[in-house]
Amino acid sequence: MIVSAYVFSDGVELAPDAIAATAQALRAGQLVGLPTETVYGLAADADNATAVASIFEAKGRPSDHPLIVHVAAFDGGMSGVAHYAGRVPAFAQQLMSAFWPGPLTLILPRRDGVGAAAAGGQNSIGLRCPAHPVAQAVLAALRQPTAGEPVVWGVAAPSANRFGRVSPTTAQHVHSEFADRPDLLVLDGGPCEVGIESTIIDCTRGAPVLLRPGAITSEQVAAACGRSLVTPEELDAQGQAAPRASGTLESHYAPNARVRLMDAKALQQALDMLGTDVDKSPQPGKSIAVYSRAPLKTSARQIELRRMPTDPAVAAHELFSVLRELDALRVKLIWVETPPDTPAWDGVRDRLQRAAA
Ligand code: TXA
Ligand code: MG
């Protein structure tokens, strides 16, 4: 069931009833599709172990893969941090001041006895203070309950997709991803502005470690805390195993079609080789989709050509939607032009490489 988080009258305003109903459902231990500025999350009360277990079940996600806990923006998110996290290093504090609320997740030492189920049994916890006004309104309502209701400190929310699949960036995506649960409440906050998941920085190893690139680049992170970032590979080389993160599994974010990355020249050569006859089967429809920044040419009717935006932020914003649209054409292959090897493209390049793996 999709419920709009907004009322549209003279302008656009938050719908208080929809926010209250969502907070109520979360308090009752139910799952909710929640908009954030990155992607939609499948949310539950982070301190309710039964509710958290139902997230893993709904996603088909292994229960030892930790979830991100989302906290309200009071005190810049600090009271939520104090509830879930133990010692917060100074550089992590600087990152919160610089980027919260926003698309940055920090892995911090977990306080004993809190959020264990959400953390998938790890002694750390991933915390994020999202910037989306709808997410913040729900988190604020949970933190300021009416008399007799318990305070909910945070909401565990992985991306609202089945394990290994493409993350949802609209309420409709969430609804179709969980088509077998038509009663799932999905709060519609519009299309996600960022479009790819948050940047994840592990703050438990003395220096900031980049676990997942996102809209906030490693350069921005390094500049904000005055420390250079360590990669998981460098940690491995030092004999310290990098923590487990499903968003860092080699194959993830995968559509049904096979994704292949190529440079523009190789793409055009491949199209030229196909000529006009891609598929001699009488079946109508497209066989191959191409998603490139460069303008390409083909005379084959069964090829769907789509242009990738040249601005990395715009490309991120539409990436998962485009992958879903191309999948809906039932193409067998999606050929994508490899994004530039620059920091601004790290997030998009990472998601595409995993979709292709
Ligand atoms: O933008 C986002 O981060 C979205 C929205 C909904 O906030 N959430 C998201 O969650 O992408 P998910 O579960 O799909 O990815 C979270 C990643 C996983 O790869 C998980 O393993 C890692 O964060 N993670 C969470 N807690 C962790 C911890 N304590 N240690 C290491 N990795 C952790
Ligand atoms: Mg995910």
Asked whether residue 6 is marked as a ligand-binding residue, the answer is no
* Residue of 67, 193, 194, 202 best suited for mutating to test ligand 1, as the one with most atoms within 8 Å of CB: 67
Shortest-distance Cα residue to atom 32 of ligand 1: 245
Burial of 87 (0-12, 13-18, 19+ CB in 10 A): exposed
Phi and psi angles of residue 252, each rounded to the nearest 5 degrees, phi first? -165, 170
User: Is the CB–ligand 1 distance for residue 122 below 6 Å?
Assistant: yes
User: Is the CB–ligand 1 distance for residue 158 below 6 Å?
Assistant: yes
For 290-334, what is each residue's pLDDT tens digit? 999 999 999 998 999 999 999 999 999 999 999 999 999 999 999
Check residue 283 and give its pLDDT. Answer: 62
For 49-74, what is each residue's pLDDT tens digit? 999 999 999 999 988 899 999 999 98
4-18, 177-191, 281-295, 299-313: least confident range: 281-295
Higher pLDDT, 341 or 274: 341
Check residue 54 and give its pLDDT. Answer: 97
The ligand 1 atom nearest the CA atom of 198? 1
Determine whether domain 258-356 maps to CATH 3.30.70: no
For 249-292, what is each residue's pLDDT tens digit? 666 677 889 999 999 999 999 999 987 765 555 566 779 999 99
346-356 and 312-328 are packed helices; what angle lies between their axes, rounded to 10 degrees? 20
Question: What is the model's pTM?
Answer: 0.95
Burial of 270 (0-12, 13-18, 19+ CB in 10 A): middle
How many angstroms does the Cα of residue 22 sit away from the middle of ligand 1? Answer: 22
The ligand 1 atom nearest the CA atom of 125? 29
Quickly state the pLDDT bin for 245 (edges 50, 70, 90).
low
Check residue 4 and give its pLDDT. Answer: 97
In the chain, domain spans? 2-237, 258-356
The ligand 1 atom nearest the CA atom of 34? 6
Rounded percentage of the chain residues whose pLDDT exceeds 90 = 82
Which option is the CATH number for 2-237: 3.40.50.2300, 3.40.50.970, 3.90.870.10, 1.20.1200.10?
Answer: 3.90.870.10
